[in-house]
A and B are shown apart, each in its own frame.
Chain A
Amino acid sequence: MKKLIVSPAPHLHGEKTTRNLMRDVIIALSPSLLVSVYYFGFSAVKLALVGAVTAVLVEFVIQRYIIKGKITINDYSAALTGLLLALNLPPNSPWWIVFIGSVVAIGIAKMTYGGIGQNLFNPALVGRVFLLVSFPAIMTDWTIPASWFREGIDANTGATALSIVKEGLAKGIPMDQIFSENNFSYTQMLFSKIGGSVGEVSAFALILGFVYLLIRKVIKPHIPVAIIATVMVFSGIFWLIDPGHYTDPLFNVLTGGILIGSVFMATDYVTSPMSTRGMVFYGVGIGIITMLIRNFGSYPEGISFAILIMNACVPLINTYFKPKRFGREVNNG
């Protein structure tokens, strides 16, 4: 008689795998990567490649020679971490910066916890913050490197919009003047460069990636929407009270890594909450901490720190914010 396979139900499996989810995130990053290659040329290619290749190699070496366990580099997760790290660096960074960052991200922030799924903090952000505190000069040098596609680089390259505003205000220059002197415009922020890291040249490209992730059901909208809404409400209140000292909500959302941070960093599966209510709480927390750092701290940006701080709260959030249970919270009749 023919031998049959016998196993408990269900007998079908969906099409999603860890590998194709990670691949989808990489695809979602590709519009931003293409725009940055257009703007920064070889420098962007170099950073992305060194970041991804180093991350994969570090994971391989640790799994093969130190843990001597299963090799999981095929799941694209390490490559994604390296790529995200590269996209969060200043465009003119030297190659060894992203190399060190990737070693820290994978070697310390991911593998010491036990590999994929186990880490408490977002590895790419740990890598980035490690670099920021270790090499502050390089990490705040926003010089735009030469590109194959673009000539005549304008002079407005010394800093990001947020740091220009922060420094300007510190010198006592009125807000209107800062804006007009630097030619800040929202169309420019949406489609092109106003200073910032490799991956956030174009807000439009990031939003395109966000839409792709939503359509493919890779992420839910809750975290990015909660962050962006909180940033807008928080900055809106301050802006309405004193527009001379505080930037407006749209400016806050379009600059300083809010989009890349909320869409690609804060939604990292491993380090974000499991229930939708928890996700909203987490997003609101990131928004508030970011704005506290921006308005009252010494760093002009702040979302990296905000996400890491909220990462630390995720186990607690998961304990207190349970999904809506069936048959427990309804009143029939």
Chain B
Amino acid sequence: MSKTFSIGGIHPSDNKISVKAAIENFPLMEMAYISLSQHLGAPAEPVVAKGDKVKTGQLIAKANGFISANVHSSVSGTVSSIELLPDLAGNPVQHIVIKVEGDDWLENINRSSEIEREIKLSGPEILVKIAECGIVGLGGAAFPTHIKLSPPPGKKAEYLIINGAECEPYLTSDYRIMLEQPEEILIGAKIMMKALNVNKCFLGIEDNKPKAIKKMKGLCSKSYPQIKVVSLLKKYPQGGEKQLIDAIVKRQVPSMGLPIDTGVVVQNVGTALAVYEAVQKNKPLFEGIVTVTGKCMTEQRNFRMRVGTTFESMIFAVGGFPKDAEKLISGGPMMGKAVSRIDASSVKSTSALLLLTEKETKRGEEGNCIRCAKCVEACPMGLEPFLLNRLSRAGKIEELEANMVQDCIECGSCIYTCPANIPLLDTIRLSKAQVLKILRSRPKK
């Protein structure tokens, strides 16, 4: 019996059309545009200058502040400039631009595909290694992994949950690595268990991926008895941290709290793989798996892609820009960001590039709320989106707080389900930001 979270949720159709495409290496680009804001927190500080020669995997910008992450070169070549370039939303962000010359990796990176099973580093050494290698959460938020693996004083982790739910429609990058590099993921999980000093780990996979579940179960029962594979019902947003914890260990993260408050740390399968590569192979995070997909495209593929690849080159690698594609999304269709510039480039946490036609993505004309309660039924946080929308539009901040707008995880289930096409989350997002600002400015009890 597959498990699932207890409140709300929706069932958008899967559309995992790239599911059969094995991971292939994306051709090396001519220029790499490497952002210094690839993670949650402060931008990294460049340690190279224009004209410097860099190797693949070399540190080019170091973490700047507590919540920040190192950035490594994804290519070898010459730094041609350090300048402000638009990110996918068009906002100017510092980038290191490198002219690619060959593909000369740092010597200390172990490039063999042989699996390294023995974990030699101690817990604290693992954390240092992860920080050095610039690992961030690859589930979407790009939160620096070494911080997430260091619970604040007074909090103790009991379980590690590895997130292989991949509940967003279209995305298949996590699925492909679970099929192609399952043992590496499990070793990555073991490394993180060691760093957290926990002895129980769950790997949650939605039951629309039976092959991955079977493969992982087989491996775990043979060689990784501390890791338990949990089959999850296909339901969005199963891959949300709070929902996943609820589904697997039946604990609910308190309002305004963190997963660690329930004794759980959640990491994505992609992050587990990156951790394995960092700790066992000494390989910093400078490439990742990206699904390039869309029904309007002639082919859909999964690539191992260097950080700093432009969206434009991804589209041209799979047959060019389809005539009817009107919207580009970095990530999944439910929570991904619309790309406003195709000359923007990928970052560590880029998991997909999805092309949608106007028909697929068009929102209908907004009508009156018919009070059908579909949004209430869909909300995985047990909120009342119809009410929050009304209060947001009226600017009633106190009432919004009393109705817990701050708990919204912005999964978009409310808009998806609204028969009157009301832009519920759009208005809720705005008021949530205001309420959070007020909450944070209040003195702590």
Q: Which residues of A contact B (CB under 8 A)?
A: 1-2, 4-14, 16-18, 20-21, 72, 75, 77, 114-118, 220, 269-270, 272-276, 322-328, 330, 332-333
Contacts and interface: CB of A to CB of B under 8 A. Distances in A.
B12 A323 contact: no
Q: Which 8 A-B pairs have the closest CB atoms?
A: A10-B412, A117-B368, A325-B382, A332-B251, A269-B372, A327-B252, A330-B252, A6-B338
Interface of B: 7, 10, 12, 89, 169, 242, 246, 251-255, 257, 261-263, 321, 326-329, 333-340, 342, 354, 356, 358, 360-364, 367-374, 376-377, 379-384, 386-387, 404, 407, 410-412, 415-421, 425-426, 429
A2 B342 CA distance: 9
Contact of A9 (B12, B262, B404, B412): B412
Given A1-B342, A2-B321, A17-B419, A11 B336 contact: yes
B338 A324 contact: no
Contacts of A114: 368
Given A12-B169, A220-B377, A269-B373, A322 B384 contact: yes
B361 A12 contact: yes
B253 A327 contact: yes
Given A10-B412, A323-B382, A4 B326 contact: yes
Nearest to A7: B338
Given A274-B387, A326-B242, 14 more contacts: A4-B340, A5-B326, A6-B340, A7-B363, A11-B329, A11-B338, A12-B12, A12-B333, A14-B416, A323-B7, A323-B384, A324-B382, A327-B381, A332-B252
A258 to B, nearest CB: 23
Contacts of A117: 368-371, 420
Task: Give the residue among B335, B369, B425 with the most A Cβ atoms within 10 A.
Answer: B369
B381 A326 contact: yes
A326 B404 CA distance: 10
Nearest to B253: A327
16 contacts: A2-B321, A4-B338, A5-B327, A10-B334, A14-B10, A18-B367, A18-B420, A20-B419, A117-B368, A272-B371, A323-B382, A324-B382, A325-B404, A325-B407, A327-B253, A332-B262
B366 to A, nearest CB: 11
Contacts of B418: 14
Given A16-B417, A324-B382, A327-B255, A11 B368 contact: no
A14 B12 contact: yes
B411 to A, nearest CB: 8
A87 to B, nearest CB: 21
A214 to B, nearest CB: 13
Contacts of A273: 373
A269 B326 contact: no
A269 B382 CA distance: 19
Contacts of B263: 332
A332 B334 CA distance: 29
Contacts of A115: 368
A11 B417 CA distance: 12
Contacts of A323: 7, 376, 379, 382-384
A14 B417 contact: yes
Most buried by A among B10, B252, B255: B252
Nearest to A8: B426
B358 A5 contact: yes
A72 B365 CA distance: 12
A327 B338 contact: no
B381 A4 contact: no
Contact of B333 (A11, A18, A77): A11
Given A10-B415, A275-B376, A326 B420 contact: no
A8 B356 CA distance: 14
B367 A5 contact: no
Nearest to A3: B326
A41 to B, nearest CB: 34
Contacts of A116: 367-368, 370
B327 A270 contact: no
A117 B373 CA distance: 12
Contacts of A6: 89, 327, 338-340
A13 B416 CA distance: 4
A88 B369 CA distance: 26
B354 to A, nearest CB: 8
B340 to A, nearest CB: 5
Given A4-B340, A5-B358, A11-B338, A269 B333 contact: no
Contact of A10 (B255, B262, B333): B333
A270 B376 CA distance: 14
A230 B59 CA distance: 70
Contacts of B333: 9-12
A136 to B, nearest CB: 32
B368 A118 contact: yes
B334 A9 contact: yes
A18 B361 CA distance: 18
A30 B69 CA distance: 63
Given A5-B326, A324-B382, A326-B252, A12 B416 contact: yes
A21 B381 contact: no
A216 to B, nearest CB: 12
Given A4-B338, A13-B364, A17-B364, A327 B376 contact: no
A142 B93 CA distance: 77
Select the residue from B262, B334, B372, B415 with max chain A CB neighbours within 10 A. B372
Contacts of B369: 117
Contacts of A270: 370-371
Nearest to A70: B367
Contacts of A21: 370, 372, 419
B337 to A, nearest CB: 7
A321 to B, nearest CB: 11
Nearest to A77: B370
A325 B407 CA distance: 9
A327 B242 contact: yes
B131 to A, nearest CB: 30
Contacts of B374: 16
Contacts of A12: 12, 169, 333-334, 360-361, 416
A328 B418 CA distance: 25
Contacts of B361: 5, 11-12
Contacts of A276: 377
A5 B429 CA distance: 20
Contact of B419 (A18, A220, A324, A327): A18
Contacts of B407: 325-327
Given A12-B360, A12-B361, A16-B374, A327 B336 contact: no
Nearest to B329: A11
A272 B371 CA distance: 8
